[in-house]
């Protein structure tokens, strides 16, 4: 049976804290997919969806149109979507013109394991919980709902937690009640209209296995339940995401220039990266590439093969004398200016200051002293090539059947230039991933202890990656590249990305970057 489904996404998602600073609450990731993707896929393919938009609603619409081009969506703007005049009932009323037929209503933070029930009758879904205080509750007798209670009114053992999932067959009666309900209906949402159906219309009750995504504690539990083995390890960033939906990969950024440049750069790397098949201001998509992340497949012979293959990718960019000066200026801006900005951001974000704490027992000067000691003119005398910009094993696929590498998640520009970058930055990105492995970080196989006058850190490393690091240095040396420059840039990468990652991983990155920088300067 084809029917429509109403999903309200207008709210700000304040219970999820910083996770909704750049995203709508329905787009928070669970098992490398937005919660909304899991929700959509609970319904049959022929269902149509009515989406109430509010807080960052444009991102919800962009995602759905990219991820599900074969499904039909109706979008309704909710205003206001926050403040004293807002409410779930207002979201429903905004969708009313698209719901003049039996429909299912589901909260955007509700996931269930059982098959969906069609709205060929009125029904409400509930879950058996030990703590029902935070939820509306239902009184159920012989499989029929007899009463709907507000939060805090439910009695343990007698009532059941309503999970924000209901089928509305008698939609005319439902909408009449919502329209006549005024502020009470706006505040209560679908519960107001459903109460009006209890006396004159039979409302069935269905028990469901419920996974909530609406608050941080519940989201953590749901993420654990939905976690899938052998999936890519992606370290979360607040303003970026990579999602896998069916056979599509969708990249999100809150920065529209970031996305536009990524799309444009892909055109010049078409033999090495996936073909982009669609894009919106904040997202683009491409078909999922079959293969294995190189960090899982790597052997020394395969790594050597990658380096040889990459030499074709790193095509030299011919520069005249003026363009050469411009390129060096971009290198200086990209390496020096960004480093100072990111270090300051790290100190502000994690309430630290530039100190002389020893690191793993080694005395340290202030970081500012080390950065001023660095020969920036030498460091920024780069080699202009076609570049990747985030060149490490998690962004490289090996397709054994086709015997080819595919590069993923390329950087959007190099100091503002989308065509030319420094080969040494790609070398350093490669080395940084050999030293710090994403999968081991995600498994918390590291430690960092930052005290007033000392920092101690440790991190696990895979032996094959240690061997690859040693092989990389031999490969670089044999081709006349400056290994010292690569290692110093690697240290700067750690210092740069420390501001972007979660605590305490951020502290590890900072300590590793500073100690590595000092070691290289001491050996210079």
In-domain check, residue 278: no
CATH of the domain at 77: 3.90.550.10
Would you state the pLDDT for residue 349? 95
Do 327 and 441 share a domain, yes or no? Answer: yes
The confidence score (pLDDT) of residue 237 equals: 76
Contact 250, 259 (CB under 8 A): no
> What was the pLDDT predicted at 431?
98
Q: How far apart are CA 524 and CA 520, in angstroms?
A: 6
Residue where a domain terminates, one of 210, 226, 242 = 226
Q: Provide the residue range defining the domain that includes 316.
A: 291-522
**Same domain, residue pair 337 and 195:** no
**Final residue in a domain of this structure, among 190, 211, 226:** 226
390 found inside a domain: yes
Alpha helices (runs of H) in 298-384, residue ranges in sequence order? 300-313, 321-332, 338-349, 367-373, 376-379
Give per-residue pLDDT as tens, 372-386: 999 999 999 999 999
| Domain contains 275 | no
- What would the mean pLDDT of 159-166 be, rounded to a whole number? 96
Using H for helix, E for strand and C for coil, what is the string for 275-320? CEEEEECCEEEEECCCCEEHHHHCCHHHHHHHHHHHHHHCCECCCC
CA–CA dist 246, 118 (Å, integer): 24
Task: Return the closest-CA partner of residue 106 out of 92, 93, 85, 90.
Answer: 92
Position 170 scores a pLDDT of 96
Q: What is the pLDDT of residue 157?
A: 86
pLDDT in tens, 56-100: 999 999 999 999 999 999 999 999 999 988 999 999 999 999 999
488 and 424 Cβ atoms separated by less than 8 Å: no
Q: What is the largest CA-CA distance in the chain?
A: 85
201 and 314 assigned to the same domain: no
Token pair, residue 314, equals 């790193």
Q: Is residue 238 part of a domain?
A: no
Domain match, 222 and 298 both: no
Q: Do 90 and 23 meet the contact criterion of CB atoms below 8 Å apart?
A: no
Residue 243 inside a domain? The answer is no
Tokens, residue 4:
């429509």
- Token pair of 108 as six digits: 């955007």
Query: 498 pLDDT exceeds 80?
Result: yes
Cα 32 to Cα 18: distance, rounded to the nearest angstrom = 18
Task: In whole angstroms, give the CA distance from residue 400 to residue 395.
Answer: 16
Question: Do 89 and 173 lie in a common domain?
Answer: yes
Residue 312 belongs to some domain of the structure: yes
Question: Is pLDDT above 80 for 251?
Answer: yes
pLDDT score of 365: 98
Q: Is 272 part of any domain?
A: no
Question: Do 174 and 296 fall into the same domain?
Answer: no
- Per-residue pLDDT of 184-241, as tens digits, reads 999 999 999 999 999 777 899 999 999 999 899 999 999 999 988 767 767 677 789 9
- 45 and 176 share a domain? yes
Question: Which residue, of 183, 209, 226, is where some domain finishes?
Answer: 226
Q: Would you give the DSSP letter of residue 513?
A: H
Share of the chain above pLDDT 70, in %: 99
Task: Note the pLDDT tens digit of each residue in 292-337.
Answer: 999 999 999 999 999 999 999 999 999 999 999 999 999 999 999 9
**So what's the pLDDT on residue 235?**
67
The pTM for the full model equals 0.86
Q: Tell me the pLDDT band of 154, cut-offs 50, 70 and 90.
A: confident
Domain-embedded: residue 318: yes
Q: Does residue 11 share a domain with residue 115?
A: yes
- pLDDT for residue 51 is more than 80: yes
Residue 249 has pLDDT above 90, yes or no: yes
One domain for residues 219 and 345: no
| Domains held by the chain: number | 2
Same domain, 340 and 192: no
For residues 172 and 86, state if they share a domain. yes
Q: Are 189 and 72 in the same domain?
A: yes
Predicted confidence at residue 435, as pLDDT, reads 98
């Amino acid at each position: 049976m084809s029917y429509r489904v109403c999903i309200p996404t207008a709210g700000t998602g304040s219970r999820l804290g910083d996770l909704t600073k750049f995203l709508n609450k329905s787009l928070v990731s669970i098992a490398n997919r937005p919660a909304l993707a899991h929700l959509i896929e609970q319904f049959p393919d022929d269902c149509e969806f009515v989406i109430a938009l509010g807080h960052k609603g444009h991102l919800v619409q962009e995602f759905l149109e990219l991820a599900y081009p074969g499904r039909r969506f109706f979008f309704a703007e909710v205003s206001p979507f926050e403040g004293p005049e807002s409410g779930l009932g207002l979201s429903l009323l905004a969708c009313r013109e698209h719901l003049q037929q039996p429909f299912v209503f589901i909260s955007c933070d509700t996931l269930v394991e059982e098959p969906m029930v069609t709205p060929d009758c009125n029904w409400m879904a509930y879950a058996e919980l030990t703590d029902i205080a935070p939820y509306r509750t239902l009184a159920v007798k012989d499989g029929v709902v007899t009463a709907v209670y507000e939060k805090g009114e439910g009695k343990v053992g007698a009532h059941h937690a309503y999970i924000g999932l209901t089928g509305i067959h008698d939609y005319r009666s439902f909408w009449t009640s919502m329209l006549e309900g005024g502020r009470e209906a706006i505040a209560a949402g679908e519960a107001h209209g459903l109460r009006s159906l209890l006396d004159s219309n039979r409302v069935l009750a269905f028990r469901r296995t419920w996974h909530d995504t609406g608050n941080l504690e519940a989201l953590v539990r749901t993420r654990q339940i939905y976690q899938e083995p052998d999936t890519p390890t992606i370290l979360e960033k607040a303003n970026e995401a990579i999602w896998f939906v069916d056979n599509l990969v969708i990249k999100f950024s809150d920065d529209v220039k970031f996305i536009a440049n990524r799309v444009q750069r892909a055109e010049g790397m078409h033999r090495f990266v996936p073909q982009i098949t669609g894009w919106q201001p904040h997202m683009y998509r491409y078909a999922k590439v079959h293969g294995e992340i190189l960090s899982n497949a790597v052997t020394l012979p395969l790594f050597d093969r990658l380096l040889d293959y990459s030499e074709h990718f790193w095509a030299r960019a011919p520069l005249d004398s003026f363009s050469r000066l411009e390129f060096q200026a971009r290198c200086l801006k990209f390496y020096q200016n960004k480093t100072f900005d990111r270090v300051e951001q790290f100190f502000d974000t994690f309430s630290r200051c530039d100190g002389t704490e020893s690191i793993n027992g080694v005395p340290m000067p202030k970081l500012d002293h080390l950065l001023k000691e660095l020969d920036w003119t030498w460091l920024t005398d780069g080699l202009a090539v076609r570049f990747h910009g985030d060149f490490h094993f998690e962004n490289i696929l090996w397709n054994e059947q086709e015997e080819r590498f595919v590069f993923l998640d390329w950087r959007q520009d190099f100091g503002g230039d989308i065509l030319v970058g420094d080969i040494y930055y790609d070398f350093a990105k490669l080395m940084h991933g050999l030293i710090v492995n994403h999968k081991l970080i995600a498994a918390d196989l590291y430690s960092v202890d930052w005290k007033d006058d000392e920092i101690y850190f440790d991190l696990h490393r895979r032996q094959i990656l240690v061997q690859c690091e040693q092989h990389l240095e031999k490969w670089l040396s044999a081709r006349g590249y400056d290994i010292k420059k690569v290692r110093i840039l690697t240290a700067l990468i750690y210092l740069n990305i420390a501001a972007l990652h979660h605590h305490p991983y951020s502290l590890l990155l900072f300590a590793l970057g500073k100690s590595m920088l000092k070691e290289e300067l001491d050996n210079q």
